[in-house]
Amino acid sequence: MPTSPSRRTPFALAAALACCAPATFAQAVAAPDAAASAPAATLPAVTVKSASVGGASEGSGSFTVPATSTATGLNLDFRDTPQSVTVITRERIDEQAMTTVADALRNTIGVSLKPVDRGRNNLSARGFDINNFRFDGVPMATGNIGIETANTAIYDRIEVVRGATGLLSGAGDPSAAVNLVRKHADSKVLTGFGSVEVGSWNQLTGTIDVSSPLNADASWRGRFVANATTQDAFIDLESSKHSVFYGVIDADLTPDTKLSFGASDQRDRRDGVMWAGLPYWYSDGTRTDYPRSKTTATDWNRWDTLEQTVFATLSHRLANRWTLRGDASYRRQDEDSMMLWVEGVPDPVTGLGMGGVPYHYIAEPEQTALTLSATGPFQAFGREHEATVGFTHSKLKSGWNNFDPASSAPILFPDFNQYNGAIPEPAMGPEYVGSKATTIQNGVYGATRLQVTDALKLVVGARLSNYKRTEEQAVWTPAGFTIEHKGELTPYAGVIYDLGRNVSAYASYSDIFNPQDKKDKNGNYLDPLQGNTYELGLKGEFLDGKLQASATVFRTEQDNFGVNDGFQIARPTEAAYRQADGVLSKGYELEVTGELARGWRLSAGWTHFSAKDSDGLDVAVDHPREQFKLFTTYHLPGALQGLTVGGGVNWEGDRPAKAVNPATQLEENVGQPAYAIWDAMARYDIDRSFSVQVNVTNLFDKKYRSGSYWWGAPYTYGEPRKVLVSGTYSF
């Protein structure tokens, strides 16, 4: 994977020291005076930036950042943020060869990612689905193909805040918010890298990342990133091509006014991709055990997507140290999938009993978003505090079109035991509108950090939101279908107390709402689902802030859950619902991230939770209740300097998924039993410009079910052992 150029220059030590210094502005590191008289060529100055709010993690050589604003909009240090936050830095992305955002989230403490099929994923935290995503802090909706499929080549880091995040997110579930922080053109000299990767299943990947000043004083700078991949898969018939192009210009209009604007284009072409999954049972009630290459796809299956974004940010720093900022974003997705849905219970001998229905699906969601904010310090009662206020607006146009098969007869499979995808492509009927909707969200928010005493801080805030979703008449939606909520109040509160130089204790309450389309007996919509998270925790920073640790206990509730209440009075054929308490999730998380000793970096964490609905039944049953995640690297000293070795393990406990055996009609546990996946890596810096790296995932080739759908069946297998070899040239 690409490696930060600063790791291979004579200034690596200076860069490491600079990232830990208290300064927040860029520091120029000059060569010693003695070098000036040496005959060697003069090296260009190297710009080093600390990994702080608004700065980059790239080049820091760290698994941590000292501060984020993802939870509240305030520029809060790690210990002053009263919520669980995990950051996957550029260093971690490169060393663990995280190609997609899904790879990063799969290795994030407290997050569970399970494939629905070979095209989509289900993301969960603390028993709730994750559907809150942001780009550089600006909320964006995910589509049928989630944002987690995005390529990491264009991102500096990925920030994950667990719990309710309604203060900045608006509507959603009390699970987590994922903030994707883009790379920017920070360098005032020409710099960049190119890399080539080859891997299992004929993978070939090329990446170019170049930054350059655009004028004499480098007040205008540009950056361009391109990445292209072609590969087959461990599953029969499947192959894919991926590309991403990204460009950004960053300009210092004045010493206090900054402008950034850019665009990205990602295209994914997937052929022979499997929709749904493999049958869990044979017709006699015994369980199947197919090879991992087995597929239900056809050779005409395809699942193609396009994602394009355009964005701009303008910020201005006032004389009183307040910063005004405006963000505008546009994002569109195109999805065109021609698939075969396969289900059934095959006979163990003849393989008969499987059938499929073809499905052609087209979606073109697009979203515009605007945010305005002001953040800065203020004086009160003899102390300095910080506040932020903001306005957010988003408009999402969503929906999909369908083509149904010309024949209503299902496609019956021959012997599924010998199936190889050779099903003739069926004729499809005319295109029609399945759903078409417009969702508008507006919100104003404010938050403040109050320095009550030297040791005691309060963080309080609130958001006022308006939400309106209007659907046009289509096959799946009636005319005039509208959900509207005005004046939804979302409070936030936290208290932090410093127990000493290194450790703080905190308690917090966060909130989020999610509109629902259920109605009561009088035909009125139920109040939005209300998600509340309570947290208690300890946070510590050690070794001059290079090592961060946290311990958290949490309780999350989702109320106003719709419970069947007979039928509506005015519409006696339509179901009615009443509001009740819904899901209750509680548990704890432990996390340690950073540098344990010179050259030795670590990320480790443990998660345990239980989540049940109002009837006491498990929810999110395809996700484990316990997880342990570990990844560590060590830069060897002395004669082996230049060699980095590392590895890790992701362990997860049983999943409480159950399904009815088709032969016995008895409910059985179908959740994947506990398992561990081990990874390893090694990189050698041949010189300051060139390095080679090897990453091996699923080192011991563990066979396991990575995901399940429709009550535990069908299922998909996890990826077998994979080897990736990369070479990177930096300049």
Report pLDDT digits (tens) over 509-545: 999 999 988 888 888 888 899 999 999 999 999 999 9
* Residue 9: pLDDT band with limits 50, 70, 90: very low
CATH number at residue 464: 2.40.170.20
* Residue 713: pLDDT band with limits 50, 70, 90: low
What average pLDDT does range 394-421 have in this prediction? Answer: 92
d(CA 715, CA 276): 8
pLDDT reading at 269 higher than 70: yes
CA quadruple 76, 80, 85, 91: dihedral positive or negative? positive
pLDDT reading at 26 higher than 50: no
> Tell me, what amino acid is at 606?
W
Report pLDDT digits (tens) over 674-708: 999 999 999 999 999 999 999 999 999 999 998 87
pLDDT reading at 3 higher than 50: no
pLDDT score at 18: 31
8 Å CB contact between 187 and 221 = yes
**Structural domain count, the chain:** 1
What average pLDDT does range 616-627 have in this prediction? Answer: 92
In sequence order, the β-bridge partners of residue 587 are 554, 609
How far is residue 93 from each of residues 358, 547, 695, measured CA to CA in Å? 38, 18, 12
What average pLDDT does range 338-343 have in this prediction? Answer: 92
Closest C-alpha to 466, from 491, 448, 452, 483: 483
d(CA 26, CA 617): 54
**718 vs 26, which has greater pLDDT?**
718
pLDDT score at 712: 52
The answer to which of 1-5, 206-210, 213-217 has the lowest mean pLDDT is: 1-5
**Residue bearing tokens 């389309």:** 517
pLDDT score at 571: 74
Report pLDDT digits (tens) over 561-595: 887 778 788 777 778 888 878 899 999 999 999 99
Closest C-alpha to 532, from 175, 176, 177, 174: 174
* Residue 144: pLDDT band with limits 50, 70, 90: confident
- Where in the sequence is the domain holding 342, given as residue range(s)? 5-730
Determine whether 41 is exposed, middle or buried from the number of CB atoms within 10 Å of its CB (0-12, 13-18, 19+). Answer: exposed
pLDDT score at 390: 97
Question: What percent of the chain lies above the pLDDT cut of 90?
Answer: 77
Measured in degrees and rounded to the nearest 5, phi and psi for residue 685 equal -85, 100
pLDDT reading at 492 higher than 70: yes
pLDDT score at 679: 98
pLDDT reading at 27 higher than 90: no
pLDDT score at 24: 29
Map residue 441 onto helix, strand or coil. Answer: strand
CA quadruple 610, 163, 276, 289: dihedral positive or negative? negative
pLDDT reading at 422 higher than 60: yes
